[in-house]
Amino acid sequence: MSSSSDFQQDRHSFSGSPQKWNDFELPGDTLYYRFTSDMSNTEWGYKFTVTAGHLGRFQTGFEILKQMLCEERVIPHLPLARVWEWQVGVACRQTGHQRLKAIHLLLRLVQCSRQGDCDLTLLKPLWQLFTHMENNSCHDSAKPGILLPLHRALAELFFVTENRVTELGSLQEYLLALNTEDHLHRCTAQ
């Protein structure tokens, strides 16, 4: 079982007796599974139960962290570097509304952090997603996309982040860390 059709992401393999099976969670909203029999037995196979959207996991964590980040007196006591690292990972793995909520929290973290709290270079996968969306929106400007809210959320995140690194005097290092060498060569050539 996996969260990707090529069975490379969040992969869980089971074989043998049911006692060897463990509960697990997959991010996102899709489960891919493959059943292969070795034909050594005449039993019917395996049974598994999928339960979607455990209320209280992502949503509860989101609400708690959002409230903590709104309390100015709490922020100095939070391990912001670790929260930032964890939240960037969540934003990269999640899809749909959960990704939008994760980006909302990243935006709040950037706004309330001090210098050194957030390793902004961790945003590289989201930057690549954003630049891909930017490039496609230039070609598909007449076609409204389902990703419009995500595109806007990422635009706001990177606008605020760029302003923040400009204030800190590290804009050049930030831009170099987010972009590939090929992208920088193309921009220079343009």
- pLDDT value of position 156: 93
Which residues face 1 on adjacent strands?
A: none
Question: Position 23: which residue type?
Answer: D
Residue 35: burial class (beta carbons within 10 Å; 0-12, 13-18, 19+): exposed
pLDDT tens digits for range 84-96: 999 999 999 888 8
The Cα–Cα gap between 85 and 89 comes to 6
Residue 187 vs residue 14, higher pLDDT? 14
pLDDT at 141: 52
What pLDDT, on a 0 to 100 scale, did the predictor assign at position 159? 92
DSSP string across the chain: -BSSTTS-SS-----SSGGG------SSS--B------S---S-----------TTSHHHHHHHHHHHHH-TTTGGGS-HHHHHHHHHHHHHH--HHHHHHHHHHHHHHHHHPPTTTS-GGGGHHHHHHHHHHHHHHHHSTTS--TTHHHHHHHHHHHHHHHHHHHHHT-HHHHHHHHS-HHHHHHHHH-
Q: Using alpha carbons only, how large is the chain's radius of gyration in Å?
A: 21
100 within 8 A of 150, measured Cβ to Cβ = yes
Residue whose C-alpha is closest to residue 147's, from 136, 156, 159: 136
- Residue ranges per domain, the chain? 75-179
118 phi/psi in degrees, rounded to 5: -120, 125
pLDDT band at 126 (very low <50, low <70, confident <90, very high): very high
**C-alpha–C-alpha distance, residues 126 and 99, integer Å:** 11
Q: Is 154 exposed, middle or buried (0-12, 13-18, 19+ CB in 10 A)?
A: buried
CB 126 within 8 A of CB 87: no
What are the tens digits of pLDDT across the range 31-80? 898 888 777 777 777 777 887 665 557 777 888 899 999 999 999 899 99
Q: pLDDT tens digit string along 90-124?
A: 999 888 888 999 999 999 999 888 877 888 889 99
